[in-house]
Amino acid sequence: MKILKKRKWFQSFSALLFNPNIPLFFKGAVYKGQTKGICVPILNCYSCPAALGACPIGALQNSLANLRFNLSLGLNQFGLYIIGSLSVVGSLIGRLPCGWLCPFGLIQELLYKIPSPKLKIPGYFRYFRYGVLVVFVILMPLILVDSAGLGQTWFCKLICPAGTLEAGIPLLAANPALRSQVGLLFAWKFIVLAAFFIWMVLSLRPFCRTTCPLGTILGFFNKVSLFQMHVDGDKCTQCGLCTQACPVGLEPHETPNSPDCIRCLKCIDTCTYGALDISFLKKYPVNRPKKIRI
């Protein structure tokens, strides 16, 4: 498929599409249009000056952080709009936005192109992101609240390197008044970003594979989304080309719809036997690869 060769262009176009207000980078202010109320299916900080929409992970944390306060005011806002926005995307295409739309994914792929020794990420590191989602995105905003019942967006505050890169650094660069407020928290966030940058040069997409809570949520839908990947067992020779090509260290011919799969579709492009395929909203015969016994 020709489109698979143009994924980088797709990612670059998406980065511009979701961040079109470039002049605001120089003004040190954020875009304030109505589209900011729409949750985008990518990790794109809504405090980024150019951002067109809202980061669903930031919005979800805010919703959970304000839950007790809202209930005390009689407001029945449980974050259903945000959960629904995430699950609409998930039920349609699963983690496809990770591989094709996310600007932070593109940054990671570009940094990996810098020549350096390359490191494999141990498989068990992937479970860390489930902990990040549960602890920093759900439990901490919900439980750690002040006397008024208001919590904080702990993942954004302590971890998210996308926020530091897309919002913190540009706002500080363009707005001198903010620089006086920089303290230990920003130093910590800068260290986290720098550490991830180094890791991104050494390993492919380490943030997506070990930390990203948005990818974790969308990954839950990979097995049940309308967009599915398939292996034709009659064509698959188990040559391992797809495994070598997989940027997140999976075996696509064994688990084509793994929750860890970012659906970059490189495996389909690499398979010379045409054993891997995609479908959307149509039945596909289940024909698992046969184990070759020697």
Partner 1 sequence: MKRKLSLLLFFLSVILIIIGLNTGEFIAVLEKAVTVCLSCIGIG
Residues binding partner 1 (CB under 8 A): 29-32, 34, 36-37, 39, 45-47, 51, 53-54, 58-59, 62-63, 66, 75-88, 90-92, 152-153, 156-157, 163-164, 167-168, 171-172, 178, 181-183, 185-186, 188-190, 221, 224-226, 228, 281, 283
Chain CA centroid to CA 279, Å: 22
- By C-beta, is 58 or 256 nearer to partner 1? 58
Q: Six-digit token pair at 46?
A: 């809504």
Minimum distance, C-beta of residue 65 to partner 1, in the bound complex (Å) = 10
Q: Which is nearer to partner 1, 135 or 169 (CB)?
A: 169
- The Cα–Cα gap between 287 and 160 comes to 41
At 69, which amino acid appears? F
Residues 6+ apart with CB under 8 A from 115: none
Residue type for position 94:
G
Rounded to the nearest whole angstrom, what is the least distance from the CB of residue 52 to partner 1 in the complex?
A: 10
Q: Between 45 and 111, whose beta carbon lies closer to partner 1?
A: 45
Residue 215, amino acid: G
Residue 202, CA atoms < 13 Å, CB-side half-sphere:
9
> In the complex, what is the shortest distance from the CB of residue 114 to partner 1, in angstroms, rounded to a whole number?
25
Q: CB-wise, 11 or 257, nearer to partner 1? A: 257
Beta carbon of residue 76, minimum distance to partner 1 (angstroms, whole number) = 5
The C-alpha atoms of residue 81 and residue 148 are separated, in whole angstroms, by 24
Using CA atoms, how far apart are residues 240 and 249, in angstroms rounded to an integer? 12
Q: Which residues contact 287 (CB under 8 A, 6 or more apart)?
A: 231, 232, 233, 234
Residue 120 Cβ vs partner 1, minimum distance, rounded to whole Å: 30
Instruction: Output 57 or 106, the one with its CB closest to partner 1.
Output: 57
- Shortest CB 144 distance to partner 1, Å: 13
Cα(180)–Cα(76) distance, rounded to whole angstroms?
38
Q: Which is nearer to partner 1, 110 or 182 (CB)?
A: 182
Three-state DSSP class for 93? helix
